[in-house]
Amino acid sequence: MLIKNIFYIVVVAILLSPVSVQAQAPKLIAYSSGTGFFVTHDGHILTNNHVIEKCGDISIHGDGISANAEVVAQDREYDLALLKAAFTSPNMAYFNSMRQPLRANDPVVIIGYPGESWRGHDPIVRSSTIIDMKGPTGEEKWVQFNDSAEQGNSGGPLLDSAGNVVGVVVAKSELRIIKRENLRREEIIKKSDIAISLPMIRRFLSLHNIQYQTADSAIYLSPDRVNDRTRPFIVNVNCRISGQ
């Protein structure tokens, strides 16, 4: 009997929003923590849907200020959510106008609240580079960049070297080849971090009548300068998981 070898290539996306559990007698209370950023002076904040999807009360913290926020729009397909806070930042995010489009190997920066950094409300900045302006198998909805994100970076901006937004950090990806012979066998052939692409973000914001700002990206700033420019509009998104 002839046994055929069958190969499948799949992308596994590993979401980056942690759930931290804090003891509080007589039961445990679960919290979700991620990152978001102001996109208007009216208090609108962009983040991932998976950061807030199971949340009850949502609070945001950043640059010395804290407030409650409410969900005003969600897109489960592209994993985006829009929040509204009672206060806003003196700065807000600008989006790359794409007059200078990104290419593979271009430098990028992520800023957010990975790991335990949310406890001190102190965002962490990391440098990276673009791998591809599409997902691991050509997905238009994603941008790939080199390994630099951790749990808690979900919902934070992927920034170009001018500090303009080019994506929203969402997950780590593994490109796996699955071989079905006598026994199923999986092999990871590529790893990358992924962000939601700029066209998907613009579509979401426009759909909900958000007047976002764009800027050209002709200048180059060091990661420290990008941090200085963007830090005021970065927030930690923290909430209690509903039903806990």
List the catalytic residue out of 33, 50, 117, 128.
Answer: 50
* Residue 154 a catalytic site member: yes
Residue 235, CA atoms < 13 Å, CB-side half-sphere: 35
Say which DSSP state 181 is in: S
Handedness of CA 100, 103, 108, 110 (dihedral sign): positive
Torsion of CA 109, 115, 119, 122, to 10 degrees: -20
* Residue 50 a catalytic site member: yes
- Check residue 179 and give left, alpha or beta (phi > 0: left; psi -120 to 50: alpha): beta
List the catalytic residue out of 79, 160, 161, 217.
Answer: 79
* Residue 79 a catalytic site member: yes
Give dist(CA 103, CA 129) in Å, integer.
Answer: 10
* β-bridge pairing 213-215 and 94-96: parallel
- Residue 63 neighbours by CB under 8 Å, 6+ apart: 89, 231, 232, 234, 235
DSSP-assigned states of every residue in 52-97: HTTEEEEEEEETTEEEEEEEEEEETTTTEEEEEESS--SS--EEE-
Mapped onto helix, strand or coil, the DSSP state of residue 203 is helix
What residues does 61 pair with on adjacent strands? 66, 236
List the catalytic residue out of 117, 154, 173, 217.
Answer: 154
Catalytic residues: 50, 79, 154
